[in-house]
Structure 1
Amino acid sequence: MKVLISVDMEGISGIVHPAETNPDCYDYQQGRALMTAEANAVIAGVLDAEPAAEVWVADAHGPFRNLLPEDLDRRARLIRGKPRPLGMLAGLDEHTDAVMLIGYHARAGGGPAVLAHTMSDAILDVRVGGRSLGEIGLNAAMAGHLGVPVVLLSGDGTACAELTDLAPSAVTVAVKQALGQTAAVAVHPEEARERLRTAAAKAIEQRALVAPFALTGPLEVEIDLYGPHMVDLATLVPGVSRAGGGRKVTFTASDYADAYRLVLLLVQLASIRP
């Protein structure tokens, strides 16, 4: 079997501030080490349950170059760097049996939640078929499009609730409880790793109980952007148009895979400053 572990950073135990997730800040090296250790715990749990599993790990935070390659469990394959197909879910294909979202955070507007956002600070909301989705929902739906369930998620309590709403049978591990955007009560990192290893094994053993979260097309997608100039750039893409004022764009996708890829493109365009 093939398991894809997508690892973000904001939902790692102990991390509460952008300085711990930003390569230009002094706390980042500690954040990288904590992130790598939690990834290793999940890899170990998967292989406890399925020793012959093929484990792929997608570095899914910021520059996609955060996990420490030399410290990652050598039994896993590491995907790092960008740009790349499917972004945070690089490595996902029709041969994947299960996806795990580790260190994930709640969507923009969700809360209280640690470092909540959706893809970037430029995105205020993404609605697919009228349903607001953050990175958890957007990635779960991409996996679901290929018939793959998200069987495990870790992060703060709000992030865990987001996945439970989409996939009630999935396993979640709350490694911290948010007090606000940059504050939380966290379990000790070693305790978090123990819980993750146990949960990963359980998620693999119970994966047949989790239904993929799938959205069927055609799909109407609306994106609220932070700045009007971002809308100007977005509407240069064929099929994308303004809607309802100066900060919203919309488009129709034939299926979810097309919707997902276009959302990723618009996120990149939104990072361009005039």
Structure 2
Amino acid sequence: MKSVLIMADIEGGIGIWKKEQCKPGTPAWKAACHAITADVSAAARGALRAGARSVWVRDMHGPGYNIRPGSLPSGVRCIRGQYLKPIRLIGRLPAVEGAVFVGWHAAPDQQGSFSPHIFHKKIRWVHINGRPVTEVELFAAVLGEHGIPVLFVSAQQCVLERVRKTLPWITAFPVPKEPLSDDRAAELRRRLTHEVAQALKSHGRFGRLLFGRHRLEALVDGRRIAWTADRATETYERLADLAFFDGLAWPLRPLLLAAYVQGSRLGLRLM
């Protein structure tokens, strides 16, 4: 596989186990930015070891300014920020052959998990075709419609157990949600590099179109909603709009998004 996209969140990162670590601008978040950058660097080294000539990183946590591009392996390109178009929040996808998901989290209905949510706390659960899903399946379905299969996911164990029901071919990399020594964190990242490389070298049969025509049901802001859609991207964007822009006129949405992103960028510059 010659071109790879690493989609990174933060809650499922190695050594990230406190909610304060996930809040942009806090001292704990600044340390977590170094941790998730180390995870992404480990995954990028695995992709390069597997023969990838082009590695892209998409920072998807909050406003999208958590990863430190200058600390990534040479030649790895990082896309930051959040966008309204062409794909909500994601923006424009690079031309790649496969994806690696690093640092993802549980869904809000997974009690006892670390920082469980889908986009925003107002979304309490999401089912597609009667099956509960996490953000991983939603993003993976969007990528699949653009010809990009997801081959590797690092996350808390409960996330992986759910995700594998929809993406049974993935290499699943469980991340403990507890304090870790520097040696233990380094060991996990060495394993992460190795397992990403193996996943990209030895991937077998995989799926791209995860849902096709599907039925969504969700609880959003106390309202039970449902719809049927032909495309996963349509469902993903409708959920994102409900989470972030519900009732907000289109002309005001870029202003809201810009204010949100700028706050994180200020915190990053002060690191």
Query: Which residue number corresponds to residue 32 of structure 1?
Result: 33
> Residues 79-109 of structure 1, C-alpha deviation per residue, up to 9 Å, x if partnerless?
101124435655536x431111100011111
Amino acid across the alignment from 1:198: H
Distance in structure 1 (CA, Å) of the matches to 2:66 and 2:88: 14
1:209 is paired with a residue whose SS is coil
2:241 is aligned with 1:265: yes
1:43-62 aligned at under 5 Å gives the runs 43-52=44-53, 54-62=54-62
Checking the alignment, whether the CA contact within 8 Å between 1:2 and 1:55 is kept in structure 2 is yes
Out of 215, 221, 228, the residue aligned to residue 226 of structure 1 is 221
2:195 is aligned with 1:199: yes
Return the TM-score normalized by structure 2: 0.82
Distance in structure 1 (CA, Å) of the matches to 2:196 and 2:89: 19
% identity of equivalent residues = 26
2:27 is paired with a residue whose SS is coil
Q: CA deviation at 1:185?
A: 6.3
Q: Which moved more, 1:6-15 or 1:137-146?
A: 137-146
Distance in structure 2 (CA, Å) of the matches to 1:170 and 1:128: 19
2:152 is paired with a residue whose SS is strand
Amino acid across the alignment from 2:105: H
Checking the alignment, whether the CA contact within 8 Å between 2:4 and 2:52 is kept in structure 1 is no
Distance in structure 2 (CA, Å) of the matches to 1:30 and 1:65: 13
Amino acid across the alignment from 1:142: V
Comparing both chains, which one has the higher relative contact order based on Cα–Cα distances under 8 Å and sequence gaps of 6 or more? Answer: 2
* More strand, by proportion: 1
Query: Which residue number corresponds to residue 209 of structure 1?
Result: 205
2:194 is paired with a residue whose SS is helix
1:60-209 aligned at under 5 Å gives the runs 60-84=60-84, 85-87=86-88, 89-92=90-93, 95-176=95-176, 178=177, 184=178, 188-209=184-205
Amino acid across the alignment from 1:5: I
User: Does the C-alpha gap of structure 1 residues 30 and 220 become closer, same or farther in structure 2, counting only changes over 3 Å?
Assistant: same
Amino acid across the alignment from 1:19: E
Distance in structure 2 (CA, Å) of the matches to 1:198 and 1:87: 32
Checking the alignment, whether the CA contact within 8 Å between 2:41 and 2:73 is kept in structure 1 is yes
Checking the alignment, whether the CA contact within 8 Å between 1:126 and 1:224 is kept in structure 2 is yes
- Long gaps (5+) in structure 2: 249-271
Return the TM-score normalized by structure 1: 0.81
Query: Which residue number corresponds to residue 242 of structure 1?
Result: none
What stretches of structure 1 move > 4 A for 4+ residues in a row? 87-91
1:265 is paired with a residue whose SS is helix
| Aligned positions, number | 244
Checking the alignment, whether the CA contact within 8 Å between 2:44 and 2:55 is kept in structure 1 is yes
User: Does the C-alpha gap of structure 1 residues 110 and 74 become closer, same or farther in structure 2, counting only changes over 3 Å?
Assistant: same
